[in-house]
C-alpha cells in the first residue's frame, strides 16, 4: 500500500481517530472506575466508623466499652489491613484485635465535627493505609474521644490494576477489530476504482475498445466521460488520417507530373529536376508518415500482432531479391503484440529488413523476444557489417553507408523517428552471423 494512495489515507486517518478515541475513552473509563471504587471504599470505612461511634460508650466504672463489636472478621485477624481504634486524651483505650500491639496515630487537631477527617499513613506492616477519624463525645462522659477506622489500600489498588489491565486489552481488541473493519470497508469501497483501472489497462492494451463494466453511481459519470474521451480521440485520429491522405494525394500527383516531364527530357537540367523531385517525394512520404504516427501514437488500444507483419514482409522481400536466393529465418516468440499501429510497424520492420537484404550475402535472421511491457526485434545479416564509428551517422537523414548501393538514405532515419515517437529505441551492433544487427525495442501490447 503506497503512502500516497487513497487506501492509505483513509485507513491511516481512521486508525488515528480510532486510536485517539479509544485512548481518551480508556482514560475516562479508568478514571470513572477509580472514583467509583474509591467512593465505595470510603463509604465502607465510614459505615464502620458510624457503627463504632454508635456502639461506643463510657461504662459505670468510667472505662470505654463497645456494646457490639464490628462483625467484619478482618478486624479480628492480626494485621489483616482493617483496623479500628478508640483513643482518649491519654491515648488509645480500645482497639481492634487486628492491630495486635500497634496503634493508630492520634491527631489532636481534629475538631468536634460531623465531617470525618480523611488521612493516609504507613500501617503496621509497612503498607499504605487509608483511614477516617472523628472526635466524638461518648454517652456517660464529658470527655472527647477520637474514633478511627482504617484499611489497607492494597486491595483497592489491585482491583484498579485488574480493571485497567482488562480495559486495556479490551480496548486493544476493539481497536484492532475496528481497524480490520475499516480496512475491509476501504478495500470494498475502492474496489470499483481498481476495476476501472483494469478496464483502462485493457483499453490501452487493445483488448477492449471502451469501458463496458457496471460501476457504482458515483463512478459512472467518470466512466461516461472517459468513454466520450476515447470516442473523441478516435474521431480526431480518423480526421487526421483523412487529412494526411488528402495531403499526400495532393502533393504526390504534382511531383509525379514533374518527375515524368523531367524524365521525357534530356540534359543536365532534366537530371537535376528528376533527382530533386524524387528527393521531394521521399521527404513528403517521410514527414507524412511521421505526422500519421504522431496522431496514432496518442490513441489508446492500438495493437498489432508482429508475426503476420513479418510473414508479409518476408514474402515480399524474398520475391524482390529472388535472383539472389536469400534465406530469411524468423525465430522466437510468435505471439508477440506491438502496442501501436500496423502501418508504423510495417514502416520500421520494412526498412530494417530491406537494408539487411541489400547487404546480406545469403542469410537474414529475425529474432523475436518479449520481456514484460516491451518486445525486442533483432534483424541480422551475414554481410560485410558496418564500422562502429559509422553506425550513429547512418541514422541521420540522407546519410548512406555506400553510395553505390541503391537508396536515398532515409530508411533508418524514418525508423529512428517512428521508434522515438513510441518511446522505444533502435541500435546497430555486431551480428553473430558476421554482419550487422539492428536491435529494435518497442512497447508490447
* pLDDT the model gives residue 245: 64
> CA separation (Å) from 416 to 69, 114, 155, 400?
109, 104, 87, 15
Radius of gyration (C-alpha) of the chain in whole angstroms? 50
- Report yes or no: 383 and 359 within 8 Å, Cβ to Cβ: yes
CA atoms within 13 A on the CB side of 410: 14
* pLDDT the model gives residue 271: 74
211-270 pLDDT tens trace: 887 888 888 888 888 888 888 877 776 776 666 666 766 676 677 777 777 777 777 777
Measure the CA–CA gap between 257 and 208, rounded to whole angstroms.
45
CA atoms within 13 A on the CB side of 288: 19
Helix (H) or strand (E) holding 13: helix 6-55
* pLDDT the model gives residue 1: 64
Cell of 339: 502496442
- Report yes or no: 295 and 310 within 8 Å, Cβ to Cβ: no
Q: Which residue positions in the chain have pLDDT lower than 70?
A: 1, 112, 114, 206, 237, 240-246, 248-250, 252-253, 282-302, 397-410
pTM over 0.75: no
Q: How many other C-beta atoms can be found within 10 angstroms of the C-beta atom of residue 153?
A: 19
* In this structure, CATH architecture of domain 304-443: 2-Layer Sandwich (3.30)
* pLDDT the model gives residue 249: 62
- Report yes or no: 303 and 337 within 8 Å, Cβ to Cβ: yes
Helix (H) or strand (E) holding 137: strand 128-137
- Report yes or no: 106 and 119 within 8 Å, Cβ to Cβ: no
Measure the CA–CA gap between 225 and 197, rounded to whole angstroms.
15
DSSP 189-255: HHHHHHHHHHHHHHHHHTS-SS------TTTHHHHHHHHHHHHHHHHHHHHHHHHHHHHHHHHHHHH
Measure the CA–CA gap between 442 and 445, rounded to whole angstroms.
10
Give every strand in the sheet of 363-371, ordered side by side: 327-332, 363-371, 374-381, 436-443, 425-430
SS3 183: helix
* pLDDT the model gives residue 22: 93
- Report yes or no: 412 and 351 within 8 Å, Cβ to Cβ: yes
Measure the CA–CA gap between 58 and 98, rounded to whole angstroms.
23
Query: Which sequence spans correspond to the domains of the chain?
Result: 221-297, 304-443
* pLDDT the model gives residue 208: 74
- Report yes or no: 124 and 100 within 8 Å, Cβ to Cβ: yes
Cell of 191: 474496489
Phi, psi of 136 (to 5 degrees): -135, 160
Give the largest CA-CA distance in the chain: 162
3-state SS string for 311-371: HHHHHHHHHHCHHHCCEEEEEECCCCEECCCHHHHHHHHHHHHHHHHHHCCCEEEEEEEEE
Among residues 87, 85, 86, 83, the alpha carbon closest in space to that of 72 is found at: 83
Only one residue has cell 528527393, namely: 279
Amino acid at each position: 500500500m503506497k503512502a500516497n494512495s487513497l487506501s492509505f489515507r483513509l485507513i491511516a486517518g481512521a486508525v488515528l481517530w480510532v486510536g485517539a478515541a479509544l485512548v481518551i475513552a480508556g482514560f475516562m473509563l479508568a478514571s470513572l472506575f477509580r472514583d467509583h471504587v474509591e467512593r465505595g471504599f470510603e463509604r465502607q470505612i465510614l459505615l464502620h466508623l458510624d457503627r463504632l461511634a454508635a456502639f461506643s460508650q463510657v461504662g459505670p466504672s468510667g472505662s470505654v466499652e463497645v456494646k457490639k463489636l464490628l462483625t467484619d472478621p478482618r478486624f479480628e485477624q492480626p494485621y489483616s489491613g482493617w483496623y479500628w481504634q478508640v483513643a482518649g486524651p491519654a491515648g488509645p483505650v480500645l482497639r481492634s484485635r487486628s492491630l495486635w500491639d500497634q496503634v493508630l496515630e492520634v491527631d489532636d487537631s481534629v475538631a468536634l465535627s460531623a465531617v470525618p477527617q480523611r488521612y493516609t499513613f504507613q500501617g503496621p506492616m509497612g503498607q499504605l493505609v487509608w483511614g477516617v477519624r472523628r472526635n466524638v463525645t461518648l454517652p456517660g462522659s464529658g470527655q472527647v474521644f477520637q474514633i478511627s477506622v482504617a484499611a489497607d489500600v492494597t486491595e483497592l489498588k489491585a482491583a484498579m490494576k485488574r480493571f485497567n489491565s482488562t480495559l486495556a486489552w479490551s480496548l486493544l481488541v476493539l481497536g484492532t477489530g475496528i481497524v480490520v473493519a475499516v480496512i475491509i470497508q476501504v478495500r470494498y469501497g475502492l474496489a470499483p476504482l481498481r476495476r476501472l483501472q483494469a478496464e483502462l489497462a485493457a483499453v490501452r492494451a487493445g483488448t477492449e475498445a471502451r469501458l463496458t463494466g457496471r460501476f457504482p453511481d458515483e463512478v459512472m459519470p467518470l466512466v461516461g466521460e472517459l468513454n466520450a474521451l476515447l470516442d473523441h480521440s478516435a474521431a480526431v485520429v480518423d480526421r487526421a488520417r483523412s487529412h494526411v491522405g488528402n495531403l499526400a494525394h495532393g502533393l504526390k500527383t504534382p511531383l509525379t507530373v514533374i518527375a515524368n516531364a523531367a524524365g521525357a527530357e534530356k540534359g543536365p537540367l532534366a537530371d537535376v529536376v528528376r533527382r530533386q523531385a524524387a528527393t521531394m517525394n521521399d521527404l513528403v512520404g517521410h514527414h507524412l508518415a511521421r505526422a500519421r504516427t504522431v496522431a496514432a501514437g496518442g490513441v489508446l488500444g492500438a495493437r498489432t500482432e508482429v508475426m503476420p507483419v513479418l510473414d508479409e514482409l518476408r514474402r515480399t522481400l524474398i520475391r524482390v531479391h529472388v535472383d539472389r536466393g536469400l534465406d530469411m529465418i524468423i525465430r522466437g516468440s510468435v505471439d508477440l503484440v506491438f502496442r501501436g499501429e500496423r502501418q508504423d510497424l510495417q514502416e520500421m520492420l520494412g526498412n530494417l529488413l530491406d537494408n539487411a537484404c541489400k547487404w546480406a550475402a545469403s542469410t537474414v535472421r529475425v529474432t523475436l523476444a518479449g520481456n514484460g511491457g516491451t518486445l525486442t526485434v533483432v534483424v541480422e545479416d551475414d554481410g560485410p557489417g558496418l564500422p562502429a564509428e559509422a553506425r550513429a551517422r547512418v541514422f541521420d537523414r540522407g546519410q548512406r553507408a555506400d553510395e553505390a548501393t541503391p537508396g536515398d538514405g532515409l530508411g533508418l532515419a524514418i525508423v529512428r523517428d517512428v521508434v522515438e515517437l513510441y518511446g522505444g529505441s533502435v541500435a546497430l551492433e555486431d551480428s553473430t552471423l558476421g554482419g550487422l544487427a539492428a536491435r529494435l525495442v518497442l512497447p508490447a501490447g
